[in-house]
Amino acid sequence: MLFTSSLFLIAGAAQAYAATTTSSSFAPQFSPVFPNMKKATGVVTSYNPNQYKATDTLDTSGLSGYPNPWEAPSTTSAEVKAAYNLINWSKVPKAPVRKQKSNGDWVSDSDGDSDPYCWWSSTNCLSPKVSYLPDDIYTCPKKGDWGLNYDDGPFNRYTDENAKKENPYAEPALYNFLQKTEQKSTLFYIGSNVATYPAAAKRGLNDGHQLCSHTWSHPVMTTQTNIQIVAELYWTLKAIKEATGVTVKCWRPPQGDVDDRVRSIAWQMGMRTILWDEDTNDWAMPAPGGGDLAPKKVDAYFAGLIKNEKAGKYKTGHIVLEHELNSATVNMSMFWMPKIQAVFNVVPALTCNNILQPYWEENFVYPAGNSGPSPPASTTTASPVPVPTGSPSTCTPGSFGLGQGDGYNGACCNDQSDCLDDCLSGSCNGEANPNTPVTTAPPATVTTASPAPVPTGSPSTCTAGSFGLGQGDGYNGACCKDQSDCLDDCLSGSCNGLVNPNKPVITTTKKTTTTKKTTTTKKTTTTKKTTTTKKATTTTKKATTTTKKATTTTKKPTATASCIAGARGKKKGNGKTGYCCSSSDDCLETCRSGTCGL
């Protein structure tokens, strides 16, 4: 599957990317780094069934330090600017910012038949014109599969006049129902809702559902400027990470409105675009945030799907759009669920596409389907699970990183995204390492609140020679706390930032896995949403023209590289200070024989 290979990419991020030989290789994709963030608590890293009772209520306190819920985030925040600067803007197509009506909808428009920017709202295009972008995921390839997914959650509790009617359906109502029916789903979360009700998001993850992003304030994304898009995506990623401990690799544009400009930004921020191919139109029923579609019309959509399946009319499965938006959508879903389960194989929307672990954190192991955990990431047997599995490994004792054979520099670590494993007796052992000096619980209180977007490291004590971005003593005494910050070096007991001219020379063997885009998706015969249905968004947002010019800070790669052997970073000639690395987004390459390369 497409995403299977991109999951390998995650393990190797730009490394696997560069190892790919075709020109249609995916572009480097990286997990964002979130400064000044408290570590999520109460999160389990593997599925732990029935830890909640149906009578449990959830804490209703929100996260702090975020933009106002349901408002367009500021485009001048230092964090947003830092995320913006990590994107390679020369890779982002210069598609026009689409016009928007005062009610928030986009102005119906077209780029013509050639559809150069693969604008879904205009042509239902799902196969980007940009070579490095993978196709959107929009269906379940296997006949009989119902890819379950709910948008717009977590369903927040009301405190106003809607409370009486809505709150019986607000979370944890749907998650209780799914737990009872042993049903897992993909959940597309709105950042504002996560920040307002983080306990519900945590419940979603802990219950074994797959989390993805659905923007901060639910705008029509092609009407947003580049920096506005970054802001919408950044705060949502951060809120989900703070609430649940995971950084998601999947997102769904509100109303499906996406073109290659938007896709490219989302991709570079670590996410793949997920759409759908059947719509229950549940979102349009009368209830808060809904419209005026009669519930019996929605009943008819559900009934039609079941009828067609029974009649053998479908050649594939489907990703069927549903919402945890209000009492009407949740109640409707509860009503139809047993009937759907009787006819379809109901699985999370990503699972039917073989995506079983949609997070940058590879230590999170959750059910692949509806019950039981998926195999742990460190399993050494080859399996169809898209989590990278290590072959019998030889690694440097004491090194760390997720099980990938001999990994990066002989460590259990290939790159920034997989430094969560330990090498014991020459083998990568998975996360748990009883012998490491510092155990996994990092001091949540240590996080220094600095306004700088990139953590620069307080006076730290770390293990000399280890690396990871400056977070105190970090993970296992290294300058590394988790996958997202393994880009720093420990010198004289301190995390020093990216540049390390004195890094000891280590020659490495590189891993041999080449990931290729497997051609699988067909997109000819699926029933697509024909009417570009629009949700009546309550928040009408003016495209405030703080259109920041994409001042690309592209540095020229020098032809003749000279770098310090063993250093890493992308093709930038000699990078900074002889290092193959000049910014946090390009430290995925290794210097060999004085040249940056893989």
- The reply to whether 151 belongs to the active site is yes
Tokens 């709910």 label which residue?
150
Query: Per rule CB under 6 A, is residue 121 in the interface with ligand NAG?
Result: no
Give Cα 45 distance to the centre of its chain.
16
**Contact region for Zn ion (CB under 5 A) — 64-72, 79-87, 143-151, 232-240?**
143-151
In a 3-state reduction of DSSP, which class is residue 215?
coil
Q: Does 586 bind Zn ion (CB under 5 A)?
A: no
Q: Which of 152, 362, 415, 485 binds Zn ion (CB under 5 A)?
A: 152
Q: Which of 257, 323, 406, 422 is catalytic?
A: 323
Distance CA 87, CA 45 (A): 29
> Which of 128, 254, 453, 497 lies at the binding interface for Zn ion (CB under 5 A)?
254
Per CB under 5 A, 153 contacts Zn ion: no
The one of ligand NAG, Zn ion, none whose footprint includes residue 254, by CB under 5 to 8 A per kind, is Zn ion
Q: Of residues 135, 136, 151, 489, which has the active-site annotation?
A: 151
Distance from C-alpha of 192 to C-alpha of 197, rounded to nearest angstrom: 9
Contact (CB, 8 A) for 8 and 362: no
- Report in angstroms the alpha-carbon separations of 126 from 105, 133, 348, 392, 460: 21, 11, 20, 39, 47
Does 523 bind ligand NAG (CB under 6 A)? Our answer is no
Give the nearer residue to Zn ion in terms of CB position, either 329 or 484.
Answer: 329
Q: Which of 105, 135, 136, 151 binds Zn ion (CB under 5 A)?
A: 151
- The interface region with ligand NAG, picked from 41-49, 102-110, 498-506, 553-561 by CB under 6 A, is 553-561
Q: Is 127 in the site for ligand NAG (CB under 6 A)?
A: no
Measured torsion, CA atoms of residues 457, 420, 9, 364, in degrees rounded to the nearest 10: -110
Q: What is the DSSP letter of 364?
A: -
Q: How far apart are CA 34 and CA 241, in angstroms?
A: 9
Q: What is the DSSP letter of 524?
A: S
Single residue of 43, 44, 46, 91 touching ligand NAG by CB under 6 A: 91
Angle, nearest 10°, between helix axes 226-244 and 78-85? 110
335 binds ligand NAG (CB under 6 A): yes
The binder of ligand NAG chosen from 327, 354, 416, 476 (CB under 6 A): 327
- Partner whose footprint covers residue 554, from ligand NAG, Zn ion, none (CB < 5 to 8 Å by kind): ligand NAG
Amino acid at 277: D
Q: Is 591 helix (H, G, I), strand (E, B) or coil?
A: strand
* Partner from Zn ion, ligand NAG, none contacting 88, C-beta within 5 to 8 A by type: ligand NAG
Interacting residue with ligand NAG among 328, 412, 423, 567 (CB under 6 A): 328
Q: How far is the CB of 28 from ligand NAG (least distance, A)?
A: 7
Q: Any contact of residue 551 with ligand NAG (CB under 6 A)?
A: no
**57 is in the binding site of which of ligand NAG, Zn ion, none (Cβ under 5 to 8 A by kind)?**
none
Residue 335 contact among ligand NAG, Zn ion, none, beta carbon within 5 to 8 Å by kind: ligand NAG
Binding-site string for ligand NAG from residue 280 to residue 319, where x marks contact by CB under 6 A and - marks none: ----------------------------------------
What, of Zn ion, ligand NAG, none, does residue 594 touch, CB below 5 to 8 Å by kind? none
Sign of CA dihedral 63, 156, 136, 142: positive
> What residues contact 384, with CB distance under 8 A and at least 6 apart?
354
Residue 324 as a binder of Zn ion (CB under 5 A): the answer is no
Residue 330: enclosing H or E segment and its boundaries? helix 327-343
Report the run of H or E that residue 272 belongs to, with start and end.
Answer: strand 272-273
**Distance of alpha carbon 11 from alpha carbon 402, whole angstroms:** 8
State in angstroms the smallest separation of the CB of 18 from ligand NAG.
11
Helices 226-244 & 260-268 angle (0-180, nearest 10): 40
- 524 to 130, 150, 513, 521, 590: CA distances (angstroms): 20, 25, 31, 9, 42
Piece of the chain touching ligand NAG by CB under 6 A; list 250-258, 409-417, 480-488, 549-557: 549-557
Contact track, ligand NAG, 169-208, x by CB under 6 A:
----------------------------------------
Do residues 151 and 322 make contact, with C-beta atoms less than 8 angstroms apart? Answer: yes
Q: Are the CB atoms for 498 and 579 separated by under 8 Å?
A: yes
Q: What is the spatial distance between Cα 369 and Cα 185, in angstroms, rounded to a whole number? A: 9
Residue 151 contact among ligand NAG, Zn ion, none, beta carbon within 5 to 8 Å by kind: Zn ion
User: CB under 5 to 8 A by kind: which of Zn ion, ligand NAG, none does 152 bind?
Assistant: Zn ion
Pick the binder of ligand NAG from 22, 50, 55, 90 (CB under 6 A): 90
Counting contacts by CB under 5 A, is residue 421 touching Zn ion?
no
Residue 323 falls in the annotated catalytic set: yes
* 138 neighbors 118 (Cβ within 8 angstroms): no
Angle at 192 between CA 360 and CA 474, to 5 degrees: 35
Q: What is the size of the binding site for ligand NAG (CB under 6 A)?
A: 12
Nearest to 250, CA basis, from 261, 259, 239, 263: 263
Query: Shortest gap between Cβ of 132 and ligand NAG (angstroms)?
Result: 8
Q: Which residues bind ligand NAG (CB under 6 A)?
A: 88, 90-91, 327-328, 331, 335, 554-555, 557, 570, 586
Catalytic annotation, residues? 151, 323
